Amino acid sequence: MIVPAILATMAAAGEPVILCTQCHSDVRVQAERSIHSIEEVPCVSCHGGDRQGNSVATAHRGDFRGKIPRREVPALCASCHSDAERMSHYNLSTDQYALYQTSAHGRALAGGDDRVAVCTDCHGVHEILSSADARSGTFPVNVPETCARCHSDADLIRDYDLPGDPYADFLAGQHGVAFAERKDASAPVCTRCHGAHGAAPPGVGDVDRVCGQCHSTIRAYFLESPHRSAMEQKGWAECSSCHGYHLIAKTNVEMLDRNCLACHGRSSREVKLGEQLKTIYTNASDDLEAARALVDSAKQIPLYVEDYEARLQEGRTSLLESLTAMHSVDLAAVEPLTERARSIGKEVQSDVRGKLEGRKWRRVGLGIFWFYLLVTVAILVRFRRRAMRSVGRE
Amino acid sequence: MKDEPKRTSVTRWIEERFNLTEMFSFLTNFGIFPFELDTSLPLREAIAGALRRPMPSYARWPRVLGLLSVLLFAFLVITGLMLALYYQPTPARAYESVTVIVRDISFGWFLHQIHGWAADAFLLILLVRGWRFYFQGLYKPPREALWIIAIVTFLAATHVDLTGRLLGWDEQGYWNAVRAVDMLYSLPLLGPLFAFVVGGHVVDSLVLLRFYFLHVAILPMLLTVLFFLHFSGVRRVGLSQLPEESPSGPAVYRMYLYNVLILTVLIFGVLVTLATIVPAAFEKVADPFSTPAGARAPWYLLGSHGFLETFPVVVPRWVRGLALEAILAFCILLPFIDRSPGRTMRERRRANVLGLLVLVVWLLFTWIGYRMEVGA
């Protein structure tokens, strides 16, 4: 008796009347949190039917669709999200569906495999949150876990030609360290390399492009190297052949000669070049390290070393730059940088050593000081003796 | 004498306007001349008289310790005044300004090191002097006041040292000060009094400022007064006499004046050598939030610190504090407790055994205090 009265009042007031959640109360809490609820997208936009229907019979009628089959989800979402006019108010792009259809997910779905990710797997079903919402699965920080829900699920992934546990690999690699340990907001997550809606693994010939988006200087050097064309001919992935993918290992100086052996013969010209690169790098690094140790010991005294610290920073920058230049495998590109680092190291060493040596003159000064001091004492002792003698005479 | 030619000299000109002898007499109150001067004589005659004064050996062992401490005090004042030209007593600037002194200022490191070494030597000499007074029974009448002054001088000196240690705002100095403040709070009667001066448990900018003021003004003034009193007393009651010595001694003062000069030169030499060859390490800046491993009380407090910290827990801390205070009171009141007149080694056998025992126990507690790893 009361409900129709309330409904009549609400209708009179022009309020939209939604009765779906009277029965579907389990969905209500989730739906009310979603961005769709905030933007007043009613249940019937997806599920059809009559939202003012007061019973199953009156509500589930007309274009009522009930539970949406997975394979229909992308097209259904796209019915609004690909509508440029409707989306313009939300400043949302409308190319997601088009991108999705090009993605590995989209192509497999079109091929009849409905176990691949559809919109709702990442964005949620009823509780769809904005990507700017920190609770959302598509919030950048949550992306690796969202992807891992399927891609690190061994049962699900078994039937596909995919790497086993990319999430664990990612966390163990340098990108994962930056992401999870250093909490570096600029660290790349899955979508940075694979794309979001158009998710696909970059193939040979594209890997360096993908990595080069961030590592642009390294890519520039790499493009100049003979490796670029040779690897493409052989069908080897560019960056990841040495550095790995997902598990991107921390680089170390050993890679400079050891990695060459993977393709080149032990006594080949290329391996010799690798050894040479390693040597000039190690020499420069050792010189900078020795300079730093000297600066540290001088700082303990303390001597004024702030200028040298700045200079060492310059040297370290050159050394780091030389590692970047190593990707050209061109001695002429690398050597000026390592030489610069090395000369800075040598220069700081000799300057600080000079300052430390200068302190040794203090000892010499002390010797001279004691000489004059003892002369003074001798004179005083003589005076005292004379005084004693005069006392004796008195 | 009318017909005497009238000599005009600066001394004479001044002497007609001031009593120079009186002024000189004031200066000799710091150990240079250990007897009373006749201030009614002109300066020249007073000095000539003083130089001819027969006396037991002076300015050599053992009647050198008082003079030595004054000389070191003078070194401390001079180097301290120079350091004060650059030092800034705020937590934000203290460490930096000391860094500037030892790093950038010409011979700043030298002044800083001499100041530090002279401080340690100063305390050590005062300590040795205290023990000499005890073992030779020099606290007996009429020297009771000199004994009390010696004890108070040592206490004041430890406080100058302690307040000075904080000023650098480095790790060791900071935690030395924290330990010392902790100790102050566990002394039942004196604690609250000192705590009032310090102002709280936390060693912060106000504590630094107060320590600075105590270090450069209050305590040096107190020490000056104490030295003045000490030598005033010495000039009235005479130099310490060992029972086997004759009071007039083998020589005149003029010889000992050279001793004073030689001593000054040698101390300076020793301080310069220490500063150059074994300079104290330049510590890291203090971090109030992390105690460095091995942060200890300064060496002269290690004994008391060890005593306070390692005594069985069943004895409440305030009782231990009270025990420390009782020991201190015993030291000060010793002349009124031990009233036996004997001063020869044979007569003092019991007292000397007791003294040795106390010395050994104190060294033991110093060792315990040193071994106590006061870590984070």
Give B213-222 pLDDT, tens digit per residue: 999 999 999 9
> Where would I find the H helices in B85-107?
94-103
Contact B255 A384 (CB under 8 A): yes
**Residue in A362, A373, A388 nearest the CB of B265:** A373
Strands B54-55 and B251-252: antiparallel
**A383 lies within 8 A of chain B by CB:** yes
Q: How far apart are the first and last CA of chain A?
A: 139
Q: Write the DSSP string, A64-125.
A: ---SPPGGGHHHHHHHHHT-HHHHGGGT--S-HHHHHHHSHHHHHHHTT-TTS--HHHHH-S
Probe site for chain A from B60, B97, B109, B262 (most A CB atoms < 10 A) = B262
Q: Which residues pair with B285 in a beta bridge?
A: B170
- DSSP annotation of B292 reads P
Contact B269 A373 (CB under 8 A): yes
Q: Give chain B's length.
A: 376
Asked if residue A302 has a cis previous peptide bond (ω within 30° of 0), the answer is: yes
Q: How far apart are CA B182 and CA B187, in angstroms?
A: 9
Asked if residue B279 has a cis previous peptide bond (ω within 30° of 0), the answer is: no
Which residues are CB-neighbours of B278 under 8 A, at least 6 positions away? none
In a 3-state reduction of DSSP, which class is residue B285? strand
- DSSP annotation of A67 reads S
Q: How far apart are CA A348 and CA A17, in angstroms?
A: 79
**B106 lies within 8 A of chain A by CB:** no
Contact B259 A384 (CB under 8 A): yes
> Using 50, 70 and 90 to split pLDDT, how confident is the model at B376?
very low
Query: E strands of chain B, at which residues?
Result: 54-55, 251-252
CA distances from A271 to A237, A267, A328, B277 (A): 20, 7, 14, 53
Q: Give chain A's length.
A: 394
H or E segment and range at residue A331: helix A331-393
pLDDT of residue A323: 94
CB B212 within 8 A of CB B219: no
Dihedral sign for Cα A155, A161, A165, A170, please. negative
B374 or B132, higher pLDDT? B132
Which residues are CB-neighbours of B363 under 8 A, at least 6 positions away? B303
Dihedral sign for Cα A331, A337, A341, A346, please. positive
Structure confidence by residue, pLDDT tens digits, B13-38: 888 898 988 888 888 888 888 888 88
Contact B255 A363 (CB under 8 A): no
Q: How far apart are CA A81 and CA B30, in angstroms?
A: 97
Structural Rg of chain B based on CA atoms: 23
pLDDT of residue B82: 95
Give the gap in angstroms from C-alpha A251 to the nearest C-alpha of chain B.
Answer: 34
**A300 lies within 8 A of chain B by CB:** yes
Probe site for chain B from A370, A383, A385, A390 (most B CB atoms < 10 A) = A383
Structure confidence by residue, pLDDT tens digits, B144-153: 999 999 999 9
**A110 lies within 8 A of chain B by CB:** no
- Chain A residues lying within 8 Å of B253, measured CB to CB: none
- Chain B residues lying within 8 Å of A376, measured CB to CB: 265
Contact B258 A373 (CB under 8 A): no
pLDDT of residue B1: 44
- Chain A residues lying within 8 Å of B262, measured CB to CB: 377, 380-381, 384
pLDDT of residue A42: 87
pLDDT of residue B373: 61
pLDDT of residue A75: 94
**B273 lies within 8 A of chain A by CB:** yes
Residue with tokens 């107060």: B210
Structure confidence by residue, pLDDT tens digits, B69-82: 999 999 999 999 99
pLDDT of residue A292: 96
Give the gap in angstroms from C-alpha B168 to the nearest C-alpha of chain A.
Answer: 14
Nearest by Cα to B330 from B147, B185, B176, B169: B147
Predicted ipTM beyond 0.90: no
**A302 lies within 8 A of chain B by CB:** yes
**Residue in A376, A387, A391 nearest the CB of B265:** A376
Residue A134's φ and ψ, nearest 5 degrees, are -60, -20
Class of residue A263 by CB neighbours under 10 A (exposed 0-12, middle 13-18, buried 19+):
middle
**Residue in A304, A365, A377 nearest the CB of B262:** A377
Asked if residue B62 has a cis previous peptide bond (ω within 30° of 0), the answer is: yes
CA distances from A116 to A96, A105, A113, A142, B142 (A): 16, 6, 7, 19, 106
**B291 lies within 8 A of chain A by CB:** no
Q: Indicate whether B200 pLDDT > 90.
A: no
CB A300 within 8 A of CB A355: no
In a 3-state reduction of DSSP, which class is residue A40? coil
In a 3-state reduction of DSSP, which class is residue A253? coil
- The whole-chain average pLDDT of chain B stands at 86
Structural Rg of chain A based on CA atoms: 37
For residue B103, the one-letter residue type is R
Q: Indicate whether B244 pLDDT > 70.
A: no
Q: How far apart are CA B201 and CA A44, in angstroms?
A: 69
Q: Indicate whether B344 pLDDT > 80.
A: no
pLDDT of residue B111: 93
Q: How far apart are CA B58 and CA B256, in angstroms?
A: 6
Residuewise pLDDT in 10s, chain A (394 residues): 455 555 555 545 555 567 888 888 888 888 888 999 888 888 889 999 988 888 888 889 888 988 999 999 999 999 999 999 999 988 899 999 999 999 999 999 999 998 999 999 999 999 999 989 999 999 999 999 999 999 999 999 888 988 888 999 999 999 999 999 999 989 999 999 998 998 888 877 788 889 999 999 999 999 999 999 999 888 888 899 889 999 998 998 888 888 899 889 989 999 999 999 999 999 999 999 999 999 998 888 888 888 999 999 999 999 999 999 999 999 999 999 999 999 999 999 999 999 888 888 888 999 999 999 999 999 999 998 888 777 666 5
